[in-house]
Chain A
């Protein structure tokens, strides 16, 4: 009898192992086979099980594609490729001036680096690096699901007299705890629409408009589009940390983001003149968490979580220094155009060197 139990137990374990290994062969929930009509690849982020989200600004849609790249790699190797722009362009048979790397994302399971590339003729392309070699990520005959972005409430009064003059683009997307979050920018309002979309996709999507007070004074309030954002645990609660187009860094408690609400965030820092945030993420150094923000023209900056947690005020007092609010450390590394997290301590980034080359680098956050 004992022997029988052993056999049954072994069979169950084997079945479990088999199910795990053949994950890539079964369809993900809500996914269908086909060739999605992706018009543009503006933003990338990874969800669970190797699912890649592609934000399509032009098509006002988010696609989730099954990359079948879900094997965990616990020993991510550093990647260094000089002139990554030339390598990508050459793999497409053209020169760097004819392509734009619109986003880069590291698969958190396989640690492979994915690139969204827009060619000069408008064709969107997704590539990935495998042991230093570029591969095409197919967008035809694939397993995918998608969700069209709802109009924001203000769009309800639809233009019935011809073309819509409204342009809505996706400025950033991120996935956390079963939700795809998305910040949008429109040509008609200088404001931010923030959406939270349950994944696997259903018909639901919630949006809230986010408002901030300017840094420096509490005297001017403003609506502005979010440029890039991340989510992070601050004071034991999950927060949205958003970097705005007009420079302030703002935190919102995710619990406060209720559908259709209008929320004011807490400005924790103003990062200085001419700042153009590219990507923001959380790393840790010896157990101490910090935010790392990369900028296209200014140096990368680091803010310690404990400083954000201890900073209780908004920037309500007039400040005279160049930077204000939560103290932050300025790195020597600037001209970063893309950045994503490789693991808890390292990032992969694309940087324009002083010599003019565009390089892919892996850096330990503490060395930044």
Chain B
């Protein structure tokens, strides 16, 4: 039995603010002697955010007794839940510190007497949570691959990636100690893009993890990066399926990207055609969006949009306005890296005795002309 109500119960200001957030309430019949009473789970958006106890089920209740005589616990636990209590003539509203968990049963007691056991309904998964991309997107990757990006369609639960992300070898066995275990996962501000490092201690020569276990990936071997369908999003919905990416490891990349070798295809003037840049190798997906800009000869940055394509080996720049004829500069921040973490100035794993000294340039430029 489920009814939907508009909630206009309380007059106190703070209460009204809270109730303004309420979209609908689900009435759940009580299951004990107070069965005529109705206890309410209040839903704020998609989160069950509060429990309302009508005043006629808590006779004699007053403000000084809040949190003492009226107690909410997770079923089976001795621990009282923490949160805020609000009281009005209509009843008491308990707002826990975090949303109520779907599927859990909450026990509301008054003066050591159980008033009701409330079950928060499980939500049906809307199957909208998926993994939309794994970067790098090529299927042949250097054995000193440094980073993987996972792009989800929904905000995902944080701090649990190690439970749901695995790297499998050709036999399907899970490889151990392959990812860097960070206490703070690197999610973007939207909570959808996660950066995963392959353990740099195993990639960098001279470190004990490298000397003992070797590189995480070995040239010539095939691997599968698997993302479990059990990974929940912030609403508790699991992914709509299991995702995997199969790739083959190839020789180490021990060369910095070199912009002087890139191919630039200039668009025509008086058009909004894309400027095309081919790198002839896959570069870091995330950095490509932050390290490349187009500068007009006047010194002004050309406004436009970057689209990374062809397995991150090329880029299209779409200007906001028509190109005018003249000379432009492609300005590249030296932070730009390839898939092995080598940037324009230095190798990720640099041998001080053999490799050339690290470059000092902050930016590199290439000129091109639009006719």
Contacts and interface: CB of A to CB of B under 8 A. Distances in A.
Interface string B175-187: 0010011111111
A77 interface: no
Contacts of A296: 181
Contacts of B361: none
Interface in B200-218: 200-201, 204-209, 211-213
Contact of A270 (B185, B208, B333): B208
A161 B304 CA distance: 6
Contacts of A215: 206-208
B55 to A, nearest CB: 23
Given A91-B80, A94-B98, A118-B159, A221 B352 contact: yes
A93 B207 contact: no
Interface string B125-166: 000000000000000000000110000000101111000000
A260 B199 CA distance: 28
B100 A93 contact: yes
B289 interface: yes
Given A95-B101, A171-B184, A190 B146 contact: yes
Interface stretch (B71-79, B238-246, B255-263, B264-272): B71-79
A214 B351 contact: no
A177 interface: no
Nearest to B362: A154
A273 interface: yes
A220 B206 contact: yes
A49 B335 CA distance: 42
A165 interface: yes
B74 A94 contact: yes
A272 B304 CA distance: 48
Contact of B195 (A125, A167, A219): A167
A165 B284 CA distance: 11
Contacts of A136: 82-83, 97
Contact of A220 (B146, B185, B303, B351): B351
Interface in A22-37: none
A194 to B, nearest CB: 16
A251 B83 CA distance: 43
Given A121-B47, A165-B193, A93 B106 contact: yes
B351 A161 contact: no
Contact of A219 (B80, B182, B353): B353
B81 interface: yes
B184 A187 contact: no
Given A92-B98, A118-B158, A187-B286, A247 B293 contact: no
A135 B204 contact: no
B11 interface: no
Contact of B96 (A93, A165, A169, A188): A93
A245 interface: yes
Nearest to B98: A119
A246 B207 contact: yes
Interface string A119-139: 111110101000000111000
A8 interface: no
B301 interface: yes
B104 interface: yes
A185 B209 contact: no
Given A90-B74, A245-B201, A188 B104 contact: no
B169 interface: no
A239 interface: no
Given A122-B234, A123-B99, A159 B290 contact: yes
A165 B200 contact: no
A105 to B, nearest CB: 14
A2 interface: no
Contacts of B193: 165, 167
A214 B350 CA distance: 11
A92 to B, nearest CB: 5
Given A136-B97, A189-B335, A270-B208, A92 B82 contact: yes
Given A93-B101, A161-B304, A270-B207, A122 B191 contact: yes
A188 B287 contact: yes
Contacts of A221: 350, 352
Select the residue from A185, A215, A322 with max chain B CB neighbours within 10 A: A185
Contacts of B182: 169, 171, 185, 245
B158 A122 contact: yes
A93 B51 CA distance: 12
Contacts of A282: none
A214 B204 contact: yes
A170 B184 contact: yes
Contacts of A119: 97-99
Select the residue from B181, B201, B232, B305 with max chain A CB neighbours within 10 A: B201
Contact of A166 (B47, B80, B207, B290): B290
B227 to A, nearest CB: 18
A157 interface: yes
A239 to B, nearest CB: 23
Interface string A96-117: 0010101000000000000000
Contacts of B209: 246-247, 273-274
A58 interface: yes
15 contacts: A90-B77, A91-B97, A93-B100, A94-B101, A118-B158, A119-B97, A154-B333, A160-B303, A167-B186, A167-B195, A170-B184, A185-B182, A189-B335, A214-B204, A276-B181
Interface of A: 42, 57-58, 86-87, 90-95, 98, 100, 102, 118-123, 125, 127, 134-136, 154, 157, 159-167, 169-171, 185-190, 214-222, 224, 227, 245-248, 270, 272-274, 276, 278, 296, 322
Interface of B: 47, 72-74, 77-83, 96-101, 104, 106, 146-147, 155, 157-160, 177, 180-191, 193, 195, 197, 199-201, 204-209, 211-213, 232, 234-236, 284-287, 289-291, 293, 301, 303-306, 333, 335, 341, 348-353
Given A90-B77, A93-B104, 5 more contacts: A92-B96, A121-B47, A136-B97, A227-B183, A247-B208
* 10 smallest beta-carbon distances between A and B, as pairs: A187-B195, A246-B201, A90-B79, A90-B77, A165-B286, A119-B98, A169-B184, A100-B159, A187-B186, A217-B206
